[in-house]
Amino acid sequence: MTKRIAILGAGVCGLATALKLLEIDPKADVTLYESEDRVGGLARSLTVGDQTADMGPHRIHTELPDVQEFLQEIAGDELERVERRSRMWIRDRWIEYPPQPIETLKVFGPLTLAKVLASFGENALGMGPKSTTDNYEAVMTKAFGKALYRLIALDYTRKVWKIDPKQIHGDIARVRVSAGGLDRLIKRVLVGEKEGQETALKKFYYLEGGVETLAKKMEQRILAAGGKIEVSRRVTDLRRDRDGWSIFFDGVPEATSADLVFSTVPITDLLELLLMQKENERVRKAREEMRFIANFLVCVVLKKPEATNCQWLYFPGRDTVFNRACEPKNFSSSMGDADSTMMVLEITCHHGDKVWNASDQSLIKKSIAGLIKTGLAKEEEIGEAIVHRIPYTYPLYDLEYRERLDHVWKYLSKFPGLISVGRQGLFLHNNMDHSIHMGFRAGEVALRENPEHPERKFYNEVRRFQQFRIVD
């Protein structure tokens, strides 16, 4: 029989899942349903005047062989090699990021640098501070020493996540320091690093026209293989019976039937639908406690060719409302015209907090003030500005998140023929290449390895997805 397969969400993970399913079984009846008016999810573009930006910059770098082969094959001719440049605004001046020892000495002075080395030395000798809790601060302090952590990372972490770093699980830090701490950082400066073992990228690839180019190429390939894509389809109900799954969409009176369902929508939204038919008090409580960080992008056009020569800028201090910025034209000249440029400023928040409830005009005003204060723009250079709100960006790993996810994944494994996958679908902090890999893996499990009970096999191995290394 031809399998009827529904994929909820057409971000890169949903698109990758569809491609893998159609590769394994070209006769499969695969349909993607996307709530937005076009595919891509977070891998889409924003346009302001003649300037274009990703919804958060998506540089192309991966340590996963299957994803590397796929990206080279689908977009090889349009991949541009980019020299990475980034800086941090700290103590009213710019420093290179990641910090360089000589520049750090000039900015912070020999006494501060001596404290940094001394605190790291204490850790190396087992004399540093010890924590009985596996939290972000404990992991970062062990890797870099208390002094450097407080100097560089503490304020930035608070600003991004909006909670005390001691309340963030150590897993968030662990995936970022998997290549080593201060010792590796110094070694990188002195002798360099082998490719594939970087602590920070020096070069990466970027797609001409931005990341939406990749989403469109994946869409075209799915349609050419016989898959179907329906946009503006928001799921309102999901029911399971002996004949399979029934999926209901907003504004569509009749249900869509499927034998297999892959969901990439936020896991909290999926659980809300499933709990209506299979109640579980522990899972309901877990769902209520799961939080995502929202990300607001303030895009400001500047009436000059460039603001900086960097791709990324970081702002740990309270003197700016934004915590990170990028200039899209420095990723690719295809992102804008020659006479103007655009700064994309990231502001994170929690659902319902003061930033979440702020007006667009208030966020734009504060962002422009930050651009002027840091010397990135002058008043007369400010052009058009917009705010784009992304309600679900990063899963927030608090100290109890692992136990909570164990309950949720066990609950999900009880629904035959349903696999939740991707960053939002599995509540996993990862990058675009990891999401593509997870989509490939979900397809392989479902049609090749365990077609009778794919959900059981898939949820048995999801913990390994938490071990992906994130290289900034």
Residue ranges and CATH numbers for the domains of the chain are 4-41+211-290+398-467 (3.50.50.60), 99-199 (no CATH)
Q: What is the pLDDT, as a whole number, of residue 97?
A: 86
- Name the strand (E) or helix (H) holding 403: helix 401-412
pLDDT given at position 162: 95
* For the ranges 129-138, 276-285, 461-470, the one whose mean pLDDT is highest: 276-285
Nearest one of 313, 412, 392 to 57, comparing CA atoms: 313
Identify the band that residue 2 occupies on the pLDDT scale cut at 50, 70 and 90. confident
Name the residue with tokens 């995936």.
175
The model's pLDDT over 335-384, given as tens digits with 9 standing for 90+, comes to 999 999 999 999 999 999 999 999 999 999 999 999 999 999 999 999 99
Q: Is the pLDDT of residue 13 over 90?
A: yes
Q: What is the pLDDT of residue 190?
A: 44
**pLDDT tens digit string along 161-213?**
999 999 999 999 888 765 455 555 554 544 454 555 555 678 899 999 999 99
Alpha carbons 251 and 329: distance in angstroms, whole number: 40
User: Is it the case that residue 288 has pLDDT exceeding 80?
Assistant: yes
pLDDT over threshold 80, residue 104: no
User: Residue-wise over 431-460: b if at least 16 C-beta within 10 A, else e?
Assistant: bbbbbbbbbbbbbbbbbeeeeeebbebbbe
pLDDT at 1: 60
Q: How much of the chain, in percent, has pLDDT values that exceed 70? A: 92
For residues 305-309, average pLDDT? 96
SS3 74: helix
Please give the Cα distance from 11 to 34 (Å, whole number): 8
Q: Is the pLDDT of residue 392 over 60?
A: yes
* Predicted confidence (pLDDT) at residue 35 exceeds the cutoff of 60: yes
Joined tokens for residue 381: 């250079």
Secondary element (H or E) of residue 244 = strand 244-249
Q: Can you tell me the distance from the alpha carbon of 407 to that of 156, in angstroms, rounded to the nearest whole number?
A: 31
